[in-house]
Amino acid sequence: MSHNTFGHLFRVTTWGESHGAAIGCVVDGCPPGLPLTAEEIQAFLDRRKPGQSRFTTQRREPDEVAILSGVFQNDQGIDVTTGAPIALEIRNVDQRSKDYGDIAEKFRPGHADFTYWEKYGIRDYRGGGRSSARETALRVAAGAVARKVLGPDITIRGALVQVGPHKVDRSRWDWDAVAGNPFFCPDAETAHTWEGFLDGIRKAGSSTGAVIEVVAEGVPPGWGAPIYGKLDQDLASAMMSINAVKAVEIGDGMEAAELTGEENADEIRIGSDGSPLFLTNHAGGILGGISTGQPVVCRFAVKPTSSILTPKLTIDRYGRETEIVTKGRHDPCVGIRAVPVGEAMMAIVLADHMLRHRGQCGS
Amino acid sequence: MSHNTFGHLFRVTTWGESHGAAIGCVVDGCPPGLPLTAEEIQAFLDRRKPGQSRFTTQRREPDEVAILSGVFQNDQGIDVTTGAPIALEIRNVDQRSKDYGDIAEKFRPGHADFTYWEKYGIRDYRGGGRSSARETALRVAAGAVARKVLGPDITIRGALVQVGPHKVDRSRWDWDAVAGNPFFCPDAETAHTWEGFLDGIRKAGSSTGAVIEVVAEGVPPGWGAPIYGKLDQDLASAMMSINAVKAVEIGDGMEAAELTGEENADEIRIGSDGSPLFLTNHAGGILGGISTGQPVVCRFAVKPTSSILTPKLTIDRYGRETEIVTKGRHDPCVGIRAVPVGEAMMAIVLADHMLRHRGQCGS
Amino acid sequence: MSHNTFGHLFRVTTWGESHGAAIGCVVDGCPPGLPLTAEEIQAFLDRRKPGQSRFTTQRREPDEVAILSGVFQNDQGIDVTTGAPIALEIRNVDQRSKDYGDIAEKFRPGHADFTYWEKYGIRDYRGGGRSSARETALRVAAGAVARKVLGPDITIRGALVQVGPHKVDRSRWDWDAVAGNPFFCPDAETAHTWEGFLDGIRKAGSSTGAVIEVVAEGVPPGWGAPIYGKLDQDLASAMMSINAVKAVEIGDGMEAAELTGEENADEIRIGSDGSPLFLTNHAGGILGGISTGQPVVCRFAVKPTSSILTPKLTIDRYGRETEIVTKGRHDPCVGIRAVPVGEAMMAIVLADHMLRHRGQCGS
Amino acid sequence: MSHNTFGHLFRVTTWGESHGAAIGCVVDGCPPGLPLTAEEIQAFLDRRKPGQSRFTTQRREPDEVAILSGVFQNDQGIDVTTGAPIALEIRNVDQRSKDYGDIAEKFRPGHADFTYWEKYGIRDYRGGGRSSARETALRVAAGAVARKVLGPDITIRGALVQVGPHKVDRSRWDWDAVAGNPFFCPDAETAHTWEGFLDGIRKAGSSTGAVIEVVAEGVPPGWGAPIYGKLDQDLASAMMSINAVKAVEIGDGMEAAELTGEENADEIRIGSDGSPLFLTNHAGGILGGISTGQPVVCRFAVKPTSSILTPKLTIDRYGRETEIVTKGRHDPCVGIRAVPVGEAMMAIVLADHMLRHRGQCGS
């Protein structure tokens, strides 16, 4: 029962507002003895960092992470986790002293401005405060720790698979292409299409939605805890908790509705190594809430950001009708930077389930 | 941290296997003083009960629920909740002594048979054991209690909106139509189409997927707890925990990916009663994880059941390649009976968030 | 966050009122593959059963437990746990139809009657309802499962060490004596003293407090999770949750206040087997919230029951001053039957910590 | 399920090692709109600060707390809580670069050195690392927030009631005396005795145990959640989680064992204000795990610190027998500084239960 904590045995608690003094997280329950440095975490943060292309916000957020606890030098002179809580912190540096007037008083349609106000009667409106996507930097940082827990045999990779109406061509899927364009796009040709599309969005001061796919390979069968600690359930929870996410799919997702039982059946053979071999993966690597040993496949849809240049009808906090235009540095497609965030949440869910499975079943 | 518990302040713990002695649940944290009888719960169970048409399994499951604790007669002679845990129990009566041979030894492709075996090394295969959809009867029972917590001002209704490739025509949506066909279909004309389609599926010993939509009206603004106790996050978790669900959508769901910021913005005016009035509801009643006061809209996709008459390649528990055909009494479309289950999970999530909000914010 | 659940990975949820239809519990998170029968659980329940001597209540509570889920026959024909929740249930048989008049209306001084009424505005007064010590039968049942998790290398034994002002002579401590008297007394001579003392209490319609000591041997070093999941913290929580308990001690307990650092230091040597050997055990087997490998020693004090024959001043639920006398079948010393309850809670705490330790640290 | 978090709706997660870069905590679930400044928190920290007399450690720990999140200026220009997590942080300044040699290699008898090593295989030995009592500064800081939640009508006060064998004379109890001596002693005459006693302990390089009593007045009846969320259970958990605590008592505590039912009964009358009036308070303000409305009384015993000048037999981390002497700046009686810590834990438990009660029961 915690509003700002995710996970059970591997737990992440985040804190901080977009334009406050700092943001941070506490990673609790991490196994001891895992090598961990700030540099390793920083590498993941840098993938999410804004301003790396003209397609993401031009805010300057160096996002330099510090490890404040939970790591200690072992006898070999290597910094390793101690089993104590790992505190990660990012000091804010881009806190321009500016006039937040409009946002302070008015609610952006489609934004949490309104609901925070309704719930709490007070809100830190600066840069979105607690509801800012800046919080997702901490997910990425915690996800880097989670990857350490999972070890090198589990690979977690994400890609942007749709921007607005434009989907990737899965026949051209190439994981190596992901790093070769500013969109984490696994299909170089589609990346080219997106470039033009997003330039139009950007110049119009508009925004667009997107779909992200995250795949985890190497997950052994048996992780996940039915009935209410299902692996897919926790993935759904994890991904839906990311800002702006409106849908989560496992395996065939919504399209499973259109399948027949014959089409949906992932038939099983015995592979050359003597272990079970599935002929297809409609299930996305999860059956009955438990991993099958196949790749775990999760997708989520991100809505377009509500910060746009077109005036929109709204009200202010005094209950008066008005209009709002959001100026400033925006993300034409927040879905781009959601890719490393989705990877991180996959890692966090898997690390938690690895420990939970080991707790109950002993391996 | 509980594998078989859902919720925090309003908590539901379920137990039992499909063909065991009984199934049951414990509803903990219920406010005291709410009138509650077994008959009221039974009414909801009866909506989910199998065998009510030729389109659901013909198994006889009377599903008679008993309240074993947590209710006591007040001074007015009315049975009310006491604040103590409410134990609900359904004794199993249709436990045919039969040969489970094939299912006991082989794994149905697309079924949890395989993963339970991999995880635990032992499984109660009778009728699907713990992984059977029979467990969802308890969700419906607990959901009936949750509705009592929410009170009469909150209305929760579900409908089947897609069967296989056939979607309802939303222009013909009529909540009153839902009770008038065996599919919980809000569009009588589409219900007719489904009848023909499902007869075909049924006669072929096949199965099909479906999509369910659940809408909660009357939810006040302010429920939901960011960042990791978001209302939509908990709905995603709740719905994905239902058997066979592969995707969850809030509001526009996957289609949000195709929208621009202008299209997605739910503009706000002041209504004639002086309170905020949203002109659209792309958000599905949730912004930043907190309810807006608009209808909360959630959809989920259900895959086709793996119990089909067509032989499928699989392996047995000794690692030998084989084939399997599932005979017996099946649901051609498990999505039908998932409608009351989805309603129940919506009620459970909302009841939990009502209490959580009251705990932190005092009303 | 659960009012009626104890534990984290090994979790026990209890339900039921003293004179309701049944009482029960759900044991969740149990590792799979452990042999478990109702008979084994019954053996522990029988040790707690009332009416076994004239020193405990003469109520007839056969307390016959049934396992309703979570156990299945393995290939060897042995009933083993499946990893699914284990539902245990005891049907109530001694529900005399009687007039509860006085207790229904008045609050017994020193009893939860008053506080349940204040909290909930409704209470099941029959036999104490939810606040009855009858609930502890379920702890004993769940404790029997916990012992299976711990395995045969961990021994948990309890003893009554003080009744009213009369303490056992520790120089005469003999575990084998515990089963030889109706008090679980490890000192036969003191048991004789208690017999006379308690006959006096009993005949006077009075009651007396007591102290129970529980010792777990064979616990490996390393269990317990600082800072807020300390082993001693969870033992304190577990024991204090038992009805009528007013104090919990670990190791030297309250007397640690009188020690100097020199006296308190449990010096360490290397034993003949090469492992650490403590020369004393003031710590009661726990340092920094983590087990040392020494016996874990816990004591708790039980107050006298409030059901006595002497009239006491009180008020009724209408706020009127009155007197109360509690007739009926009472325990002159509820501490006697608290011995198996304390053992059970020790087992539950240890089982939970075993799984938690394995989850984080891998063994 | 969190190793470093305490509480449910009002939750405190702490992190940090004694000689690391910083220590901190995250207070989650705090109601919005409560005025809160670092100065107010600092006032409580200063009461716990070491070096205020010759009877506590002479380490310099300014313990300056910063609020990094969760507070925002309201329209009246007052900093108030926002409902978002409150991050509190204390940077470490007294990290002498020194040789930790002996402590790095050897285990102090009676200290967590040994168990951390056994559990994790790595430990930050500098100043006790995570097991240092320095962590309790964060409890005090979080307790200051908890007091804000409870409001001015609830008074929480602590006192030292025993040092070594010397108990206060309760007939001379005077809360005003507590601030008038360096021991938080409510009995000026006993404080004089302690002064001499502790000078002896201090000069001998020895240490002594102590007993702390914490009393909360103004707690309304009805807080606490049976069966496993009892108010006394959570107090026992809270107090036992404090470093060096070996026993917790509620009301009469261990002495309840010696009482008869007649003596223990807290008789009830109707007070002049028409509300229930208890004639005694053996129960310590809690019956059946729920507050009665009387003062909540809790005591706990603290063992003497293991850092003493007398050589003690021990082993080192290589399993070799050796001796250890702990030089440096020690607390002759750690119980003194445990008084504000105990008060803080009482406040945290009560704040959590206030919100939990409001969640379930609505007020």
pLDDT digits (tens, 9 = 90+) for D162-219: 999 999 999 999 999 999 999 999 999 999 999 999 999 999 999 999 999 999 999 9
pLDDT for C49 equals 80
User: Pick from B116, B290, B306: which is nearest to A119 by CB?
Assistant: B290
Taking CA atoms, what residue in B is nearest to C72? B124
**The residue type at C124:** D
The shortest C-alpha distance from B59 to chain A (Å) reads 20
The answer to whether residue B154 scores a pLDDT higher than 90 is yes
Taking CA atoms, what residue in C is nearest to D135? C227
Side-chain-facing half-sphere of D260: CA atoms under 13 Å: 13
Integer angstrom CA distances of residue D306 from A6, D302, D333: 37, 12, 11
Q: Which residues of C touch A30 (CB under 8 A)?
A: 360
Give the bridge partners for D184, in sequence order: none
Confirm if D68 and D88 have CB atoms less than 8 A apart: yes
Separation between Cα atoms, residue D223 and residue D285, nearest integer Å = 11
The shortest C-alpha distance from D314 to chain A (Å) reads 21
Report which of residues D94 and A265 the model is more confident about: A265
| Confidence label for A307 from pLDDT (cuts 50, 70 and 90) | confident
The answer to whether residue A183 scores a pLDDT higher than 70 is yes
Q: Which residues of D touch B226 (CB under 8 A)?
A: 84
Tokens standing for B108?
A: 């149905």
Residues of A with a Cβ under 8 Å from any D Cβ are 1-5, 8-9, 11, 13-17, 20-24, 26, 28-29, 32-33, 66, 68-70, 72, 74, 80, 82-87, 119-124, 129-130
Q: Position of tokens 């029972």? A: B141
What percent of chain A has pLDDT above 70? 96
Opening angle at CA C30, ends D241 and C242, nearest 5:
45
pLDDT for B98 equals 67
Contact: C313, D130; criterion CB under 8 Å? no
| B vs D: CB pairs below 8 A | 42
Query: Chain centroid to CA B220: how far?
Result: 22
Contact: B303, A259; criterion CB under 8 Å? yes
Dihedral angle at the C-alpha atoms of B230, B231, B237, B239, nearest 10 degrees?
A: -160
Q: Are strands B166-167 and B155-163 parallel, antiparallel or unpaired?
A: antiparallel
**The residue type at A247:** A
Separation between Cα atoms, residue B292 and residue B282, nearest integer Å = 12
Opening angle at CA B160, ends B157 and B161, nearest 5:
110
Contact: D2, A15; criterion CB under 8 Å? no
Separation between Cα atoms, residue B221 and residue A117, nearest integer Å = 10
Closest CA to B201 of B55, B49, B52: B55
Confirm if C260 and D304 have CB atoms less than 8 A apart: yes
| Confidence label for C363 from pLDDT (cuts 50, 70 and 90) | confident
Mean pLDDT rounded to a whole number for chain B: 94
Contact: C32, B120; criterion CB under 8 Å? yes
The shortest C-alpha distance from D279 to chain B (Å) reads 29
pTM above 0.90, yes or no: yes
The shortest C-alpha distance from C69 to chain D (Å) reads 23
Confirm if B336 and B182 have CB atoms less than 8 A apart: yes
State the SS3 of D290-351.
EECCCCEEEEEEECCCCCCCCCEEEEECCCCEEEECCCCCCCCCCCCCHHHHHHHHHHHHHH
- Strand segments (E) across chain D: 5-6, 11-16, 22-28, 65-67, 71-73, 79-81, 86-91, 155-163, 166-167, 210-217, 245-250, 268-270, 276-278, 286-287, 290-291, 296-302, 312-315, 321-324
Confirm if A143 and A344 have CB atoms less than 8 A apart: yes
Q: Position of tokens 């009893």? A: C111
The answer to whether residue D106 scores a pLDDT higher than 90 is yes
Separation between Cα atoms, residue C6 and residue A284, nearest integer Å = 35
| Confidence label for D342 from pLDDT (cuts 50, 70 and 90) | very high
Tokens standing for B133?
A: 């959809």
Residue D338 φ/ψ, nearest 5 degrees: -75, -10
Contact: A359, C361; criterion CB under 8 Å? no
The answer to whether residue D356 scores a pLDDT higher than 80 is yes
Contact: C287, D112; criterion CB under 8 Å? yes
The answer to whether residue D25 scores a pLDDT higher than 90 is yes
User: Pick from B1, B86, B123: which is nearest to C9 by CB?
Assistant: B1
Tokens standing for D281?
A: 């308070």
Separation between Cα atoms, residue C155 and residue B29, nearest integer Å = 35
Contact: C360, A1; criterion CB under 8 Å? no
Contact: C31, A361; criterion CB under 8 Å? yes
The answer to whether residue B121 scores a pLDDT higher than 80 is yes
What percent of chain A has pLDDT above 90? 88
Is this complex scored with an ipTM above 0.90? yes
Contact: A236, B221; criterion CB under 8 Å? no
Q: Position of tokens 């036999």? A: C127
* Complete DSSP assignment for B27-46: EESPPTT-B--HHHHHHHHH
The answer to whether residue A329 scores a pLDDT higher than 80 is no
Q: What is the pLDDT of residues B186-196, one digit of tens each?
A: 999 999 999 99
Q: What is the pLDDT of residues D229-247, one digit of tens each?
A: 999 999 999 999 999 999 9
* Complete DSSP assignment for A129-175: GGGSGGGHHHHHHHHHHHHHHH-TT-EEEEEEEEETTEE--GGG--G
| Confidence label for A40 from pLDDT (cuts 50, 70 and 90) | very high
Opening angle at CA C354, ends C349 and C360, nearest 5:
125
pLDDT for A97 equals 55
pLDDT for C97 equals 56
Element (H, E) at A14: strand A11-16
Q: What is the pLDDT of residues C56-66, one digit of tens each?
A: 776 666 789 99
Q: Which residues of A touch B265 (CB under 8 A)?
A: 108-110, 306, 308, 312
Residue C192 φ/ψ, nearest 5 degrees: -65, -45
Q: What is the pLDDT of residues B164-177, one digit of tens each?
A: 999 999 999 999 99
Tokens standing for B74?
A: 């007040």
Give the bridge partners for A270, in sequence order: A276
Q: Chains that contact C by 3+ CB pairs under 8 Å?
A: A, B, D
Dihedral angle at the C-alpha atoms of A178, A181, A185, A188, nearest 10 degrees?
A: -100
The answer to whether residue B127 scores a pLDDT higher than 60 is yes
Query: Chain centroid to CA D357: how far?
Result: 23
Q: Which residues of D touch C253 (CB under 8 A)?
A: 246-247, 254, 301
Asked, as a colleague might, if the bond just before D348 is cis with ω within 30 of 0, I would say no
Closest CA to B12 of B352, B357, B296, B298: B352
Tokens standing for D99?
A: 């040789």
The answer to whether residue C1 scores a pLDDT higher than 70 is no
Residue C200 φ/ψ, nearest 5 degrees: -65, -45
Separation between Cα atoms, residue B51 and residue D338, nearest integer Å = 65
How many residues does this entry show for chain B? 363
The shortest C-alpha distance from B279 to chain A (Å) reads 9
Burial A278-302 (b: 16+ CB within 10 A, else e): bebbbbbbbbbbbbbbbbbbbbbbb
Separation between Cα atoms, residue D223 and residue D240, nearest integer Å = 21
Separation between Cα atoms, residue C144 and residue B284, nearest integer Å = 48
Signed CA dihedral, C132, C134, C140, C142: sign only: negative
Contact: D288, C111; criterion CB under 8 Å? yes
pLDDT for D329 equals 66
Which residues, other chains included, contact B270 with Cβ-Cβ below 8 Å and sequence gap of 6+? A315, A319, A320, A321, B276, B277
Burial C20-57 (b: 16+ CB within 10 A, else e): bbbbbbbbbbbbbbbebebebbbebbebbbbeeeebbb
Side-chain-facing half-sphere of A95: CA atoms under 13 Å: 14
Q: What is the pLDDT of residues D39-50, one digit of tens each?
A: 999 999 998 887
Give the bridge partners for B249, in sequence order: A247, B299
pLDDT for A59 equals 65
Confirm if D345 and D140 have CB atoms less than 8 A apart: no
Tokens standing for A226?
A: 């039915």
Closest CA to D311 of D164, D109, D116: D109
- Lowest-pLDDT choice from A319-333, B97-111, C115-129, C203-217: B97-111
pLDDT for B230 equals 98
Q: Which residues of B touch A208 (CB under 8 A)?
A: 259-261
Signed CA dihedral, A307, A311, A316, A321: sign only: negative
The shortest C-alpha distance from D347 to chain C (Å) reads 16
The shortest C-alpha distance from A14 to chain B (Å) reads 8
Both ends of chain A: CA-CA distance in Å? 27
Dihedral angle at the C-alpha atoms of A338, A341, A347, A351, nearest 10 degrees?
A: -140
User: Pick from D1, D13, D20: which is nearest to A9 by CB?
Assistant: D1
Contact: C270, D120; criterion CB under 8 Å? no
